[in-house]
A and B are shown apart, each in its own frame.
Chain A
Amino acid sequence: MNSRVDWVAHMVLALGVLLFALPVWLVLAGSTQEADAISRGELSLIPSLSGLHTYADVLLRPGREGAPPVWHMLMVSLGMALSIAFGKIVISVLSAYAVAFFRFPFRMAAFWTIFITLMLPVEVRIIPTFAVMANFGLINSFTGLTVPLIASATATLLFRQVFLAVPDELVEAARMDGAGPLRFLRDILLPVSSANIAALFVILFVYGWNQFLWPLLVATDSSLDTIVIGIVKNIGTETQTEWNQVMAMAVLALLPPVAVVVLMQRWFVAGLTEGEK
């Protein structure tokens, strides 16, 4: 009876995997086929090796209407995702450190102010943020693209919880050893929280990579096109859409986040199992 339950469970799991993997496979297969064939609805599930040149085409050749080549878009996306992930981590570690370990006037007020911004989604504050960036003259700049996305209530709250879980005795032992606040942060707190930082980095990188609305608004100059923007721009032009190119771009856009998740996952799972606070 047990083996029968196992069999059913495996079937359900296999179905689930298929459900998630099939669209990705379809994109992968489609990217290697003729644009005309896809338009006619003759999308084969078997990739054709002869169509691999599409990747070289989109990567290296400039696109239509002055669009940069995909390698450039990937670099912009990478730069943006890394800036946002690192920026968020630095800012939120510092603010969480202040809120969790120090007693200062209006500490709880500061905490609640951060907390309340959680309740405002990006879309709500996107117009005022745009106005601020415009006044600073940061439209169509890399700074304008990344800085507004760096402030993060979620990461601050998460680190605050992580820091509150650090035993008081550890803090006190460091004080007795003579470690000042910044030394404690660098020598004890950050290494102890490294697993959490790694986990958050993965989430934030993917978050930054997938940004669409803000880059669309703030960067109209095509030299600042991210890969996500590039894909969208490539669809729905007046002329016929080159679906094989769009699919190749989608596959390329998929690779860096997947690489980060795969690489970092090993690292932070190891950190989690070893980690002892």
Chain B
Amino acid sequence: MATLELAGLRKSFGDTAVLHGVDLSLADGEMLVIVGASGCGKSTLLRLVAGLERASGGRILLDGRDISAVDPSERDIAMVFQNYALYPHMSVFDNMAYGLRIRGLSKAEIASKVDDAAALLGLGDLLTRKPRQLSGGQRQRVAMGRAIVRAPKLFLFDEPLSNLDAKLRVQMRAEIRQLQRRLGVTSLYVTHDQVEAMTLGDRLLVLHQGRPAQLASPMEVFDRPADTYVAGFIGAPAMNFLPAVLTRGGAAARLETGAEIAFSDGDRPGPDGRRLTIGIRPEHLSLGGDDLALTVDLIEPLGSETLVHGRPAAGVHGRPAAGVHGRPAAGVHGRPAAGASVVVKLAGHAPVEWRGDQRIGVRLDPVQLHVFDAETGLRVEPVIR
């Protein structure tokens, strides 16, 4: 039960700055998920909070106490590691009891705490086993148990599910969420998996190259991504990006195909001709329109849905669509990578038998458009009149 506050937290390794100043505040019992591509600094952030690395600047406040210079063992923080980091020579019981023994608790206290945690995690029958005799999911539970028995102020999760197979991951994801709610322990959870990020977090911090790109609730991040990086990172398949320019006094965008799409939620500021990037999620594209013409490259039937990958072809309006691109290149704001395809997500099975090099017309749902500035990559909000 605690609050966590990070103020201007920075970290450099030598000349390489990894974190450029992160401000963050977690309410009591909140679960905040830090998500980002590998190398974005999310694990470093977690290790700074844990005390395994020293910050180069800024402060870490746990329950109002500055713990930036405190030894990890004195911080009252427990961490669940990616590879579980169980002590291989100790039984499950000893693994969970080790931290308590060091703190000098009596045998009876230790036994009751470990038994409680084991019961909570369904490890009761496994207490005498060694880690190598456990399955991946069981090891994961022991790692959680080791964190729980200490009843810390803060839980840190460092990609705890990345070593599990897909099915187990879904199950453990739900278990972690339920457990965290039940125990009400303030938690920081680092992952690169956006599904984990969406489902686990009360709030989401998207880190991009050591800077916070967006901090909001998962649905807010999904519905109103702050920039093209967040927009391309959250959501699967990734959002499509199309270059466009502002037209009709800010009331519409004109795609390179020549198609004009009116904004349904209000005008965008700026002169006509302002360069924009229009983002549209694959599920908000539908067949049968003439906003975009695609040459079909690949069909991926997934049963409940079908993904159609296509290259923007010469527009239906008769113009070449050479400049129409897909998702942005990793790490560069507002600079869509050339040659990437546009993905259309259709519900159900493929409506017809597709063949190679087929041309299809696609319609954009105007209500679901995301408008970004082409230069900065930042979201362009409608002008409120």
Residues of A participating in the B interface, judged by any CB pair closer than 8 Å: 167, 169-170, 172-179, 183, 187-188, 191-192, 194, 274-277
CB distance from B57 to the nearest CB of A (A): 21
A177-B99, A274-B132 known; A172 vs B85 contact (CB < 8 Å): yes
> Would you call B73 and A177 a contact (CB within 8 A)?
yes
Residue in B72, B86, B88, B102 whose Cβ sees the most chain A Cβ within 10 Å: B88
Chain B interface residue count, CB cutoff 8 Å, equals 25
A167-B83, A183-B102 known; A172 vs B52 contact (CB < 8 Å): yes
The residues in B between 67 and 83 inclusive whose CB is less than 8 angstroms from any CB of A are 72-74, 77-79, 81-83
Residues of A contacting B85 with CB < 8 Å? 167, 169-170, 172-173
Residues of A contacting B131 with CB < 8 Å? 276
* Distance, CA A187 to CA B94, complexed state (A): 11
> Would you call B81 and A172 a contact (CB within 8 A)?
yes
Kindly list 10 other residue pairs between chains A and B, CB separation below 8 angstroms, not including A167-B83, A169-B82.
A170-B87, A173-B85, A176-B50, A176-B73, A176-B77, A179-B98, A188-B89, A191-B89, A191-B90, A194-B89
| Secondary structure type dominating chain A contacts | helix
Q: Output the nearest chain A residue to B78 by Cβ-Cβ distance.
A: A176
> Would you call B50 and A179 a contact (CB within 8 A)?
no
CB distance from A179 to the nearest CB of B (A): 6
- Write 20 A-B pairs (CB below 8 A) sorted by A numbering: A167-B85, A169-B84, A169-B85, A170-B85, A172-B72, A172-B81, A173-B81, A174-B98, A176-B50, A176-B72, A176-B73, A176-B77, A176-B78, A177-B146, A178-B102, A178-B103, A179-B98, A183-B102, A192-B88, A276-B88
CB distance from A65 to the nearest CB of B (A): 53
Residues of A contacting B84 with CB < 8 Å? 169
* Distance, CA A167 to CA B87, complexed state (A): 11
Residues of B contacting A173 with CB < 8 Å? 79, 81, 85-87, 146
Residues of A contacting B81 with CB < 8 Å? 169, 172-173
Q: Output the nearest chain B residue to A178 by Cβ-Cβ distance.
A: B73
Q: Output the nearest chain B residue to A183 by Cβ-Cβ distance.
A: B102
Residue in A173, A187, A188 whose Cβ sees the most chain B Cβ within 10 Å: A173
* Distance, CA A178 to CA B103, complexed state (A): 8
Indicate with 1 or 0, residue by residue over B117-139, a CB within 8 angstroms of chain A CB atoms: 00000000000000110000000
* Distance, CA A170 to CA B82, complexed state (A): 11
Shortest 6 CB-CB contacts between residues of A and residues of B: A178-B73, A177-B99, A169-B85, A173-B85, A191-B89, A178-B102
CB distance from B114 to the nearest CB of A (A): 13
* Distance, CA A191 to CA B137, complexed state (A): 25
CB distance from A176 to the nearest CB of B (A): 5
Contact of B88 among A176, A179, A277 (CB under 8 A): A277
* Distance, CA A192 to CA B89, complexed state (A): 6
* Distance, CA A275 to CA B132, complexed state (A): 9
Residues of B contacting A191 with CB < 8 Å? 89-90
* Distance, CA A276 to CA B87, complexed state (A): 10
Q: Output the nearest chain A residue to B100 by Cβ-Cβ distance.
A: A177
Residues of B contacting A192 with CB < 8 Å? 87-89
* Distance, CA A188 to CA B99, complexed state (A): 12
Residues of A contacting B73 with CB < 8 Å? 175-179
CB distance from A163 to the nearest CB of B (A): 15
Residues of A contacting B50 with CB < 8 Å? 172, 176
Residue in B77, B98, B131, B132 whose Cβ sees the most chain A Cβ within 10 Å: B98
